[in-house]
Amino acid sequence: MRKLSLAFIFILSVVFNALAQRKSEEAYTLLKPDRVFDGQQMHNGWWVLIKANHIEAAGDAAGIKAPSSSKIIELKGMTLMPGLIEGHSHLFLHPYNETSWKDQVLTESRAERTARAVVHARETLMAGFTSERDLGTEGAGYDDVGLKTAINKGIIPGPRMMVATRAIVATGSYGPKSEVAEIDIPKGGEQADGVEGITRAVRSQIGHGADVIKIYVDYRWGLDGASEPTFTQEELKTAVEVARSSGRIIAVHSGTSEGMRRAIVAGVTTIEHGDGGTPELFKMMKEKGIALCPTLSATEAVSSYYLGWKKGIDTGNKLINHKKYIFNEAMKAGVTICMGGDVGVFAHGDNAREMILMTEYGMKPLDILKSATSVNAAVFRLKGVGNIKPGYLADLVAVQGNPAQDIKVVKQIKLVIKDGVIYRQE
């Protein structure tokens, strides 16, 4: 009986090992596109082998050794790329031509805003953006932390999220505002004052789950609604020191030259919008390694929604002409450019709109592809994404055609893989 038991155990172990080996082999997926953009350059004739949730191999087709049981996905005429990274998004906002920002903050319940954010997260992923930096809930508290958790747990589909929670604003500077001073209404960010106050706000947001600290270094709170700096140099320097001590990056909203100057001196990570940029300021940014996220799409969307600007017809829009100027001045200075459109001002799922505008404004398609993948990953300190390399996460997208020749094809998404799971395949 003992011999029979030992024999039975031996047979079971052989069967289990065989099943485990088969399961391991079945976890392989071989992708066969016409070309691969690996985050740095374009390669013709490359294949990519996925094992479970990571990239096992990438390179010339002849050099890829895939198990015979591998699932094969033919991607004829397509380009395979790292999953795109949205650099500036607000999943808790929806286009301002649907509902104004003020009315979203004041009249939409947190439940409604979260429900919308769930839909927006899925639309972002289906558009090929497998990661995104979400720069403030704009009145929805810390709900972005819960949304991120739900995505990570697989409860809902969505991109990998870096969240900024409430964003930090100087008291009295940010909206919504009321002409009735006695009314205490919700604000779009967390108000803070002084070195002690901004220190407390940064630490509080970190404690609530913020991955990145977002600060409004200027806003439309000057006389007659003029944009003016909000925080002093000392306040900003303190905020940066506190955030950095926790290993977090600092993103700042800025539209004035003085606001940008203070942010640069303080040593922030990225400047969002940057409409106050000058050749001198961009030179300072380059020297200090501070990146610019220009949000070209937001400027065009706001011009269209509020100023009646019509693309292709109206050529005299000062905001857009100035945006083109600062974008090109930043490139001339060698400033690192992040791809981020301020999605939420315009529709989620239309994220690639920013990439198309970047080429219209003068950036080369290959540099735009880098900006939306490896550059964003490096600036945001995202590990394991943004490149196609062995050991990296299997966050991949395939588009019809060659985006290095025609950037518009980034909207022709045919395959979306995140963490080794296929979310879209056409």
| Amino acid 14: pLDDT | 43
Residue pair 278/240 in contact (Cβ under 8 Å)? The answer is: no
| Amino acid 231: pLDDT | 98
Instruction: Catalogue all structural domains in the chain, each as residue range(s) with its CATH number.
Output: 25-82+388-425 (2.30.40.10), 84-351 (3.20.20.140)
Q: Helix, strand or coil for residue 417?
A: strand
| Amino acid 9: pLDDT | 47
Amino acid letter, 357 = L
CB neighbours (10 Å) of residue 300?
Answer: 23
- Strands 396-400 and 413-418 come out as antiparallel
79 bridge partner residues: 35, 399
Residue pair 383/392 in contact (Cβ under 8 Å)? The answer is: no
**Rounded CA gap, 186 and 189, in Å?**
9
* Tens-binned pLDDT, residue by residue, of the chain (426 aa): 555 454 444 444 444 444 444 444 459 999 999 999 999 999 999 999 999 999 999 999 999 999 999 999 999 999 999 999 999 999 999 999 999 999 999 999 999 999 999 999 999 999 999 999 999 999 999 999 999 999 999 999 999 999 999 999 999 999 998 888 788 898 999 999 999 999 999 999 999 999 999 999 999 999 999 999 999 999 999 999 999 999 999 999 999 999 999 999 999 999 999 999 999 999 999 999 999 999 999 999 999 998 889 988 888 789 999 999 999 999 999 999 999 999 999 999 999 999 999 999 999 999 999 999 999 999 999 999 999 999 999 999 999 999 999 999 999 999 999 999 999 999
| Amino acid 10: pLDDT | 45
| Amino acid 108: pLDDT | 98
| Amino acid 4: pLDDT | 46
| Amino acid 15: pLDDT | 43
Distance of CA 210 to the CA centre of its chain: 15
**Rounded CA gap, 15 and 2, in Å?**
20
